[in-house]
Structure 1
Amino acid sequence: MRSERADADLLAESVLAAPPRLGSVRVLAIDGPSGAGKSTLARDVVCVLRTSGVTVAMVSTDDFATWDVPVAWWPRLVDGVLEPFAAGRACGYRRMDWTGGVPRLGEWVRVPVPDVLVLEGVSAGRASVRRRLSALCWVGGPRPAERLERAVARDGESARSRLRDWQRFEHGWFAVDRTAHNADRAIGLVQSERAR
């Protein structure tokens, strides 16, 4: 089994070896189901890239999604992040504030144009953005029950019911979007997920 650091090193090398497809920006999308370890891996990749002297920004889909709108917020990310970076301009968007359990629009985030954008979270590697990605990594993580417990540990017991609903939604989303099938790299992949 590969170490997490080795996975981060490999992804950093992979995205740097690929051409930029969002203006001058290389985009690494780290996608997969909730509780799989995407955020941890993304932070590790960012650390590896920064240690190498690469300017890097990380944007999470959690900054856009809500319980009621799990993936339809995408135009906000395109308008606020992807289009500005493609045009060589800094990006700006309002991050969702999840404190208190009910997400609402929070603070503005401004990000200068990086060498690499690490876009992480559920639907980060969706079909509509794949042509702009330099690399797509699928993080399958453990079985759904363990992922649910990880997510509950992160978000609190009061979120359990919503997280179960989220898991059902994302299962259908990934089956239709074929994210795992289109990934350049897969980490922690359960074989049955690959077949979806």
Structure 2
Amino acid sequence: MPSSADEVDAALAGVVERIEAAVSDLAPEIIPIVLIDGRSGAGKSSVARRLRERWQGPVTVIGLDELYPGWDGLSAGATLAREFILTPLSEGRAAAWRRWDWAADAPGAEVVTPAGVPLILEGAGALTPRTARLAHVRVWLEAPEDSRRDRALTRDGDTYRPHWSRWAAQEEHHLRTHHPQSLATIVVDVP
């Protein structure tokens, strides 16, 4: 049975509070990098949006949807994020990366993400052993398949519907290969 909107809202509010607490516990000189992972429809984008709205000061939010090179690109998008965003920012350098142009099905405009600004990176595949070493707060959102599918297809409708199964297979591969839940510093069940 799908979860109620109030239950989902409470879970998302709770995870935002936990992330805020974890960030506030970091040493003042640390520029936080927050990774939010979970399967499609788990609430990653919603958590990132809520967190940005409450963040005190500047923060950059990047969704892996901006990097995945098409519907078969979950793994490649995560690699691009690590190489072109997480590594330079964790080293105190600006990050230059290309946004994926979904309409053209090709790399699009270059984006430069400045160093010295906290980062929230969200998306399926974001949390791997290699990215975990580069982030200060690592979040895994778990949710039942029926609830996730309902939320994702309500959000993206017919654009996503034909790709649900192939994307889910890539998520399964990510879970078997990287065990992201075990790498998370915060794990939350979203109804």
For Structure 1 versus Structure 2, the TM-score category normalised by the shorter chain is 0.7 to 0.9
Letter in 2 for 1:82: L
Give the corresponding residue for 2:81.
77
Letter in 2 for 1:41: V
Give the corresponding residue for 2:161.
160
- Give 1:93-112 correspondences, 5 Å limit: 93-98=97-102, 100=103, 103-112=105-114
Q: Summarize deviations over 1:9-35 as a string: whole Å, max 9, x none.
A: 220220232359xx9532111000011
Could you list the runs of 5+ residues in structure 2 that have no partner in the other structure?
A: 1-6
Preserved contact between residue 101 and residue 107 of structure 2 (Cα < 8 Å): yes
Give the corresponding residue for 1:58.
61
Give the corresponding residue for 1:47.
53
Match of 2:126 among 103, 124, 127: 124
SS at match of 1:122: coil
Letter in 1 for 2:46: T
Could you list the runs of 5+ residues in structure 1 that have no partner in the other structure?
A: 191-196
Q: How many residues align?
A: 182
CA RMSD of aligned residues (A): 2.4
Moved over 4 A (4+): none
Give the corresponding residue for 1:193.
none
Tell which has more relative contact order, 1 or 2 (C-alpha 8 A, sep 6+).
2
Give the TM-score, by structure 2 length.
0.82
Letter in 2 for 1:63: E
Once the two structures are aligned, what percentage of the paired residues are identical?
A: 26
- Give 1:8-27 correspondences, 5 Å limit: 8-18=16-26, 24-27=30-33
SS at match of 1:110: strand
Q: 1:166 to 1:19 in 2, by over 3 A?
A: farther
